[in-house]
Chain A
């Protein structure tokens, strides 16, 4: 073969290769989960989150919590039908491509994932359709409407952020306004992120109007910003008496210290001194990690918290987990909400697995059946730490308690209340 002919043949082969690549793509079979029949050696709870980025303080506590909880569950709780449970975790650094990589790696791991836990809105949104395609149940702490609706395989660990602020507004009107005789004038100052802006939606505005709360200011600050005094000046000018942030960890501290810098901080809930402001936050803001970071400044902060706090020592789950944390010498930065929430959610999903195994056998233990079992939960109380109800059209809990920071502890100031339904309008019946 001469040189030119050889080159022509090579080019033709290259062209055919390019064309066949697409054909391979069209025909590429999807890996199916391996069939299970016998009782396995272990059950694995797969989870991934940001351990080396901005959400690391929360995720580190979650990993520690799951480790300690599973140790207790395997020894005292009996595992899943006697089979020990392990956790497998991957750090995503808060990057969505790393979350996809973690998901893909876990999807091919043995045993095939039945349930996965994840903690960030952006990751949950990117993986939403993949969970449905692969029939893997996911419980997410970052439950934005985009990842939950239309309902698929993702469940929220806490009520939607819109429902949470709705429950807070209910308390504002029914308790605070009545006791002080003041009209609630609410400022929303939140992170400029998917998570933070989840409450800046028409459903929240409409509900505020309906219950008689004036939303007088809306502003944002960056996840990595450490000062919001400019925004706080605007809040002062608006005449707001409450400011609500949908943030976590360091987020509420920015609000506290900005209010403090302008002499606006009000730690007494029912004090109505003009120019002073009360602070409220979501479940991840009314969190021990945020209180640890803010110290004295957090005093008086109010917010919906659908999971027990470490100060609620009469709760069964808190007792167990306090003993586990003591055993492992866990410090203050691990004894935070994430530790309890991850443990409570793990208890819930493992209980669902136990029920599936009991009713249908090991061979039927899969995402589809665990999802169906989770949808049967009504006022379910994982070791007394929360109240979970999941409905086919609402894959997020509906109940919370309003809590407050008092003397550095997070204590409930109301009983369990049902949050208003502030799902996106198009997903309501």
Chain B
């Protein structure tokens, strides 16, 4: 259990429930958000681009964390649910001329509904078997997009998606699209953090910890499992919609099984069942991926004759190696390491 900030006493239930308990925490949050929201004014586009990718991945992983981390239901279809949201948003804006702002909630809803359909087997199967059931989504949804729905989605020929607009301003540059993605990611993080503090969240946790005990206590297990799938897929749908308008072209290849596995990997590296863990996991793996690319690019400029080989092999090897070492030395995720750091700070100078 985490220690509370020294000298902080609760005098009401509201204080007991609060996420931010001290003025320092509020100030740090405000300063952090000011830095985050004003980043387009001082960060170069390549960093904003990375932040955009982190923001979209974060939304997808937050949804997965609610389903898997809190409700205990494994899903290997998160990228496919993203595809549903992406294509809903893409088709509505590109073909029907809708605004991005109107298409976004539709994308979330459509992905949520599809997620519920693929969540139905969760009543009968668990663990690896449920993983296999959700894996089906990863095959069925891209195949549906590529073939039977080709007339609407353009299939494997990319669907060109318009950029979001407000009035006459088109959000084209990394800085502009950042200003849409990051506030939405912040809001979705806020919702994710709070969903798990409600009765619904506690029901999810009860199901994860002991399904039978939860049912005996009156939790409608099936309904809550489906609700978890719905929320998870709504998050995926929003991530997919943002992806579509950031990429400006959609192809079923964008939403592969390997992406779904990486989302699970990000959640595990960050720490299952922790909102902060999702943030850490996504940021860590995305930055690591980018850092290895930059490092290998530099390396290949030094060893010119070996450039192609270095870039082909070295990047993925370094990336994989760091992850393996990380899992060996910190299997409980970055969130756990963060908690240790906070506790150590609070009880300083005593040892943790």
Contacts and interface: CB of A to CB of B under 8 A. Distances in A.
A31 B296 contact: no
Interface in A91-125: 91, 93, 96-98, 100-101, 104-105, 107-108, 121-122, 125
A89 interface: yes
B3 to A, nearest CB: 21
Interface in B247-305: 247-249, 251, 253-254, 290, 293, 296-297, 300, 304-305
Contacts of B300: 89
A17 B157 contact: no
Given A14-B30, A21-B179, A194-B156, A104 B308 contact: no
Interface string B30-60: 1001100110110011101110010000000
A330 to B, nearest CB: 10
B183 A21 contact: yes
Interface string B311-324: 11101100000000
Interface residues of A, number: 55
Contact of A128 (B146, B249, B304): B249
Given A51-B312, A96-B251, A146-B249, 4 more contacts: A6-B26, A24-B37, A67-B307, A105-B49
Nearest to A61: B308
Contacts of A30: 172-173, 175
B178 interface: yes
A410 B30 CA distance: 66
A91 B308 CA distance: 9
Interface in B107-162: 146, 155-158, 160
Going nearest first, the 10 A-B pairs with the smallest beta carbon separation are: A25-B179, A63-B308, A28-B175, A125-B158, A126-B249, A105-B46, A104-B49, A125-B249, A21-B37, A51-B312
Interface in A19-44: 20-22, 24-26, 28, 30-31
Interface in A60-92: 60, 63-64, 67, 88-91
Interface of A: 6-7, 10, 13-14, 17-18, 20-22, 24-26, 28, 30-31, 51-52, 56, 59-60, 63-64, 67, 88-91, 93, 96-98, 100-101, 104-105, 107-108, 121-122, 125-126, 128-130, 133, 144, 146, 192-194, 196-198, 328
B38 to A, nearest CB: 7
Contact of B176 (A28, A89, A196): A28
A91 B186 CA distance: 30
Contacts of B171: 25
Contacts of A90: 293, 297, 311
B192 to A, nearest CB: 16
Contact of B166 (A18, A26, A28, A198): A26
24 contacts: A17-B33, A17-B34, A18-B186, A24-B40, A25-B176, A30-B173, A52-B311, A60-B312, A89-B307, A91-B293, A97-B53, A101-B46, A104-B174, A105-B49, A108-B46, A125-B158, A125-B251, A128-B248, A128-B249, A129-B172, A146-B160, A194-B253, A197-B156, A197-B157
B253 A193 contact: yes
Contact of A89 (B37, B174, B311): B311
A117 B14 CA distance: 59
A14 B33 contact: yes
A130 B45 CA distance: 13
A18 B187 CA distance: 9
Interface string B170-211: 011111111110110011000000000000000000000000
A101 B307 contact: no
Contacts of A126: 158, 247-249
A280 B183 CA distance: 52
A328 B308 CA distance: 13
